[in-house]
Amino acid sequence: MLLAKVYVTLKKAILDPQGKAIAASLHALDYAEVSEVRMGKYLEVRLQGVSPSQAEHRVEEMCQRLLANQVIEDFRFEIIQEERGTPQ
C-alpha cells in the first residue's frame, strides 16, 4: 500500500493567527528560544492499486483540487511504500 504524506501550509505572506497564539503561549511557558510558529495541516492519504508514479500525479491533482486551498495555502507531499497494516 502507498502512503502519501501531504503537508499543507499557509502561504508566507498570509497571517497565521493560530501560529501567533501558540508562539505566545510557548513564550509564556518560558520557551524563549521560539522565534516563530506556523500552523499547517498534515494529511495521510493511503492509496491502493496505483503505481508510485501514477500516485505522484494523482496526489498532486488531489492537492490542487481539494486538499489545499491555493488561494492562501501551499502544499507539498511525499509518497512512501507502507508495509500492510502498519500505518505510523
Partner 1 sequence: MKWGVVTFPGSNDDRDSLYCLDTVLAQHAVALWHKDPDLHGVDAIVLPGGYSYGDYLRCGALARFSPVMHSVIEFAQAGGPVLGMCNGFQILCEAGLLPGALVRNQSLLYVGDWVRVRVENTRTVFTTACQDKEILALPIKHGEGCYVADRPTLQSLEDNGQVVFRYANAAGEIDPAANPNGSLNNIAGITNRQANVVGLMPHPEHAVEALLGGEDGRKLFCSLLS
Partner 2 sequence: MAPTVTLQLAEDHGLTADEYDHILQLLGHPPSFEELGVFSVMWSEHCSYKSSRRFLSQLPTTGPAILQGPGENAGIVDIGDGLAVVFKIESHNHPSFIEPYHGAATGVGGILRDVFTMGARPIASLNSLRFGAPDHPRTPYLVKGVVAGIGGYGNSVGVPTVGGEVSFDPGYNGNILVNAFTLGVVRTDRIFRARAAGAGNPVMYVGSRTGRDGIHGASLLASREFDARSEELRPAVQVGDPFTENLLIEACLELMQRDLIVAIQDMGAAGLTSSSVEMAGRGGTGFSLNLDTIPVREEGITPYELLLSESQERMLLVAKAGCEEDVRAIFARWDLPAVVVGHVTDDARFRAEWQGQEVVSIPVSALTDEAPAYERPAGPPVDLAIRQSLDLTSIPVPTDYNHIVLQLLRSPNLASKEWVYRQYDALVCGNTVVPSGSDAAVIRIKGTKTGIGLSVDCNSRYCLQDPYRGAVIAVAESARNLAVSGARAVALSDCLNFGNPEKPEVMWQFQQAIAGMRDACDALGLAVVSGNVSFYNETAGTAIPPTPTVAMVGILPDVARHVTQWFKQPGDVIILLGETLEELGASEYLSVIHGQVAGLPPSVDLAQEKRLQDLCIHAAQEQLLSSAHDVAEGGLAIALAEACTTGPGPGIGGHVTFAEPLCGSLRYDALLFGESQSRVVISLPAENVSRLQTLARAASVACTVLGEVGGTALDITGVIQLPVAQLQHEWRTALARQIGL
Among 11, 41, 69, 70, binds its own copies (CB under 8 A): 41
Query: Please, is 73 exposed, middle or buried when counting C-beta atoms within 10 Å of its C-beta (0-12, 13-18, 19+)?
Result: middle
Residue (of 85, 5, 87, 88) closest to 45 by Cα position = 5
Least CB distance to partner 2 at residue 54 (A): 26
Helix (H, G, I), strand (E, B) or coil at 54: helix
Answer yes or no whether residue 17 interacts with its own copies by CB under 8 A. no
Instruction: State how far the Cα of 2 lies from the Cα of 80, in Å rounded to an integer.
Output: 6
> Is 52 one of the binding residues for its own copies (CB under 8 A)?
no
* Angle, CA of 79, 72 and 37, to the nearest 5°: 75
Binding footprint of partner 2 on the chain (CB under 8 A): 10, 12-17, 20-21, 24, 69, 71-72
Kindly state the smallest distance separating residue 35's Cβ from partner 1, in Å.
18
Residues that bind its own copies in the complex, under the rule CB under 8 A: 1, 7-9, 12, 19, 22, 25-26, 29, 31, 33-50, 55, 58, 62, 65-67, 87
